[in-house]
Amino acid sequence: MTEVITNIQDMQRLARDFKRDGKSVGFVPTMGALHDGHLTMMRRSIAENDVTVISVFVNPLQFAPDEDYDAYPRDIEADTQAAKSAEVDYVFHPSVEAMYPGEIGVALKVGRLADVLEGAQRPIHFNGVVTVVNKLFNIVQPDRAYFGKKDAQQLAIIEKMVADFNHPIEIVGQDIVREADGLAKSSRNVYLTEKERQEAPELQKSLKSAEKLYREGERESKIIVEAVTTYLESHTSGHVDEVAVYSYPGLIEQQHIKGRIFISLAVKFSKARLIDNLIIGDEEID
């Protein structure tokens, strides 16, 4: 039976009980608007841990004043039902006032990893992410925490944060969960018009064209970026915000590709900015 916890002290008390009883805890942090991508992580956590906790918390610190914090979808009843369908043990749903009862006196700041890609577009975003994730980790005390690879830059930053702050937590990256036509599942897909929704699967197809070039031996980033950009411009009505090739997880922009790489793209439609990516290659290069 799924239980909803809204009080931080109650969640901490449960966490202490789990540790005392020797139970492993899996944790899936979310901002709600749950979809199959989230449910896949929940089911994986349930399979790999004794207890699974998810959080539903729309974190104001990661939204700039001109972004969609107020408009971000919130439906805790639907989210709770989704969590119950996956047989999650606990839904942690604190209020903003509980999480941030006063001005934050000590702030976390992400370094170089946040200076590129989404971090360059949204300068305060990842500082807010690491702040809330640190708080959630301290409250829930998980053994494993699950994050989607669709937000691959976020995943790299969380992995670095865990290493830098010595959190005794295994970070598990979950492969992108897609619709039948290839569109990466996202809470922002509901903002697409009917025409844009028909075009949106072209994002994954553009990445497949990049993978084909890579498999055929292309190692010049400029050629791959140009090919993906041309494909997107000819197959969608959205504005191509960015196509880039970086090392992964080091996130250093690549001119001549070597090792494991991260091909990232962002396309701005009328009311939704969609991101997608491909991680390819064998050797990790920082």
Q: Single out the catalytic residue among 38, 93, 125, 167.
A: 38
Q: Is 160 annotated as a binding residue?
A: no
Q: Is 282 annotated as a binding residue?
A: no
Q: Catalytic annotation on 38?
A: yes
Q: Is 203 annotated as a binding residue?
A: no
Task: Locate 84 and state its tokens.
Answer: 């119950």
Q: Is 150 annotated as a binding residue?
A: yes
Q: Is 255 annotated as a binding residue?
A: no
Q: Is 238 annotated as a binding residue?
A: no
Q: Is 186 annotated as a binding residue?
A: yes
Q: Is 151 annotated as a binding residue?
A: yes
Q: Is 188 annotated as a binding residue?
A: yes
**Could you tell me which residues are annotated as the binding site for (R)-pantoate?**
62, 154
- Catalytic residues, by residue number, are 38
**Could you tell me which residues are annotated as the binding site for ATP?**
31-38, 148-151, 177, 185-188
